[in-house]
Structure 1
Amino acid sequence: MKKSIKYILLFGVGALAGITAERNKEYLINAQFIRDHWHFRKVISNQEAIIKADKTMIILAFGQSNSADYGEGTYTCRNEVYNYYKGDLYRAEEPLLGPDGSGCSVWSRIADMLIDSGLCNKVIIVPIGVGSTSIQRWTEGDCRKKLDKTLDELVKDRIQLTHILWDQGETDNVDGTSKAVYKARLNQLIKVIRDKGFKAPFYSSITSYFPYNNNYPLGINPHITGAQKEVINERADVLAGPNTDSLNLAYYRQNLVHFTEKGLDEFAHSWFEKIRDSK
């Protein structure tokens, strides 16, 4: 009898674990699960001193895969670059903590360029990009929850952003999102951030290029880029990021979508110029 109960319990636990794994299989098999639980990175102890130091830039960086650690190769920071993640501060190390990719980001390169140029002494990156996401997921879906949680953590830790960098548009190209709808959602996304008390300039890249599943010449969707440009032109608190659609040559993109190391270098320099020239 006891053995039967034991087997029933084991079966029940196994079944429950199987159901949980099935429902969360995407999370379990990608790099996010490993970095959530076993990243083994050392928390910075003097977090407050770094945050309050003179000439420290604090950058929220998000969007879809090209903002989310999907780049080729790796990169090692040469300056004081930090990664804010779930209320803690770490030395920035690729892949950054926060995005869902397992490759390399553009943000570490940008941070080094900003420091090398003398625009700042330190950079704190708050990266939360998620691959293949539409703008709707950031305004009302699962990514909105991730954004809200991150902003709430920043508020709790009394961290004020200095820059907000948005790089997204490819999925909406494929989805056929209209210009009016994308524009409304981008304004809604900015409102989410403003309503949390963050007044830093919001930079929107001009991004739509995707080489598959659409009928636009060169894979560039004028409805998406038109919406991005209109929001930039109509709002004083929104600035132009780089035009990533122009970085579509084969040596810039692995699998025609994500950036090679050369592509990341160009992408980073384009972002750096936009931030530098807006000062």
Structure 2
Amino acid sequence: MIAKRNILLALSVLVIVYLIGISTGHYKHFPFSLLFGFKEHFAPMPENKRNFDTSNLKERNLSIDTTTGIYLTYGQSNAANHGQIGYEVENEVFQYLDGKAYPYKDPSLGATGDDGSVWGMVGDKLIKNNVHKKVVFSNNGYGGRKIEDLNKEPYLNYLIKNYNQLYRDYGRVDAILFHQGEINHSNKYGNSNYYKDFEILVNSLKAQGIIVPIYLSRTSICNTDSDAELIKIQNKIIHDMDIVFPGPNTDLLLEKKFRLPDNCHFSRLGYEKFSDMWVISLSKGI
């Protein structure tokens, strides 16, 4: 029995090494997410940690006016730093943490993960499309969190704290950009309470005086097929709830070229499409 397990483990290692070679060669990106999935199968996953490291960043004093976009981002790993890293911001795009603004650089501040995020690219494209002249993001995404996690402590408290700091320093927040759903797929933790749990989130924010547009991604794919029922629920939320508006539908990004080998997180090309979707959504609402 032990010998059989050792053989299976050895074969698994060989498969992982092979996939790492493919990923590194094709994407120019070391597939940490693939290794995390392998580790999760054989050992408990460590707790995700937010990135608070500002040691290589220089604080910037920003002049904010009506042409500046100010956004909170929230959700699970595809709202955080778990995709392909390597994109470098070209315009006046900033990240905000603990009352200070810094040039946007991945892995972004405030979110989990050590890799790339979509938001720097979103900021650049909002500027290039004349939606804003500069953009500030306060990132709050946390990998692997269900919708019922995100409507309570400590995750919601962190979001509220950052909203209050942005409002104190800049006088407004334009929107919350929300991307979550993959872990609530019907084949994972389930979607039966998704509508109710999202409603709790919205009402909790309103109770704190936070009444700003929430742009909701339609998303369910993470090494799974699309969950049509969850997408239907997310569309109903957008239809029913007064401050919720349509964000991207990333379940449309089915092709392998848009994802890393884990078939969950986004490649550089996937981020190009994902960010285009965000710009289209925000351009309609601003």
TM category, shorter: 0.7 to 0.9
- Matches for 1:98-137 after TM superposition, within 5 Å: 98-137=110-149
Q: Distance in 2 between matches of 1:178 and 1:258?
A: 20
Match status 1:40 vs 2:52: no
User: What is the count of residue pairs matched by the alignment?
Assistant: 240
2:268 paired with 1:276: no
* Residue 88 (structure 2) pairs with residue 76 (structure 1): yes
Match of residue 17 from structure 1 = none
Q: d(CA) in 1 for partners of 2:217 and 2:140? A: 16
Report the structure, 1 or 2, having the larger helix content: 1
Alpha-carbon separation, structure 1, partners of 2:79 and 2:151: 17
For residues 215 and 255 of structure 2, the distance between their equivalents in structure 1, rounded to whole angstroms, comes to 24
Match of 2:233 in 1: 227
Q: 1:247-272: per-residue Cα shift (whole Å, max 9, x none)?
A: 12110000211100000101101111
In the aligned structure 1, how far is the partner of 2:49 from the partner of 2:269? 24
153-162 or 230-239: which moved more?
153-162
Match of 2:66 in 1: 54
Aligned partners of 2:52 and 2:75: how far apart in 1?
19
Q: CA deviation at 1:208?
A: 0.9
- Structure 1 gaps of 5+ residues are 1-24, 213-218
Contact 2:222 2:265 in 1 (8 A): no
Q: 1:185 aligns with which of 194, 197, 220?
A: 197
Shift, 1:78, TM fit: 1.3
* Equivalent of 2:179 in 160, 167, 174: 167
Q: Deviations over 1:189-219 (max 9, x none)?
A: 122223333332111011111225xxxxxx2
> TM-score, normalized by length of structure 2?
0.78
Structure 2 residue corresponding to 1:140, chosen from 147, 152, 156: 152
Amino acid at match of 1:42: K
Q: For residue 136 of structure 2, give the secondary structure of its aligned residue in structure 1.
A: strand
Q: Percent identity?
A: 28
Partner of 2:263: 256
Residue type at the aligned position of 1:241 = G
CA displacement at 1:133 relative to structure 2: 0.8
Tell which structure's C-alpha radius of gyration is larger: 1
Query: Compared with structure 1, are the counterparts of its residues 119 and 161 closer, same or farther at alpha carbon in structure 2 (3 Å cutoff)?
Result: same
Q: Which residue number in structure 1 is paired with residue 20 of structure 2?
A: none
Aligned partner letter, 1:100: T
Note if 1:211 corresponds to 2:223. yes
Cα shift readout 1:226-256 (whole Å, capped 9, x = no counterpart): 2211110112321111111111211000021
Aligned residue among 190, 195, 200 for 2:212 = 200
Contact 1:240 1:274 in 2 (8 A): yes
Unaligned runs of 5+ in 2: 1-44
Task: Tell me, in whole angstroms, the C-alpha distance in 1 between the residues paired with 2:276 and 2:152.
Answer: 32
* TM, length-normalised to structure 1: 0.79
